Amino acid sequence: MEKVRIDKFLWAVRLFKTRSAAASECSKGHVHLNGQPAKASREVKKGDVISVKYKVIMRSYKVKELLDRRVGAKLVDQYIEEVTAQDDLLKLKLYYEYQRTAVPRRQEKGRPTKKDRRQWDRYFGKNND
């Protein structure tokens, strides 16, 4: 196997849950192949670099081997290698830290109460006049 469609490859290495989700992200411009936006039908070769938009960064992966069938999570490392810059990974870590600590919330599950909403409004400086 010399070439594989990018949507099929992204699905096979478990970067997307479904092939249609991979194709959808390609059409939105969130997937790049060797620095260029990639359509779902674009073909991937061994050694290519695939970049996928994830939250606030672009995660980059180098293709080690090709496959067209979905593999188990433990086998994914045989087919791709993450080459995302450390600065981007730090930015993602800070994003998650901000999400975890930015808004104080009750520990109980369920919908926020009026009290929670008022606390959030005070925290973010919103005025309900």
Q: For the whole model, what pTM was predicted?
A: 0.76
- Kindly report, residue by residue over 58-109, the tens digit of the pLDDT: 999 999 999 989 999 999 999 999 999 999 999 999 888 887 777 666 666 7
Q: CA 90 to CA 98: how far, in whole Å?
A: 12
Please check whether residue 25 is in contact with residue 42, taking contact to mean a CB–CB distance below 8 angstroms: no
- Kindly report, residue by residue over 45-58, the tens digit of the pLDDT: 999 999 999 988 99
Count of Cβ atoms closer than 10 Å to residue 44 Cβ: 21
Which residue's structure tokens are 């599950």? 109
Supply angle C-alpha 99, 103, 106, rounded to 5.
Answer: 115
CATH number of 4-124: 3.10.290.10
So where are the chain's domains? 4-124
Assign 14 to helix, strand or coil. Answer: coil
Instruction: Indicate the pLDDT class of residue 123, thresholds 50, 70 and 90.
Output: confident
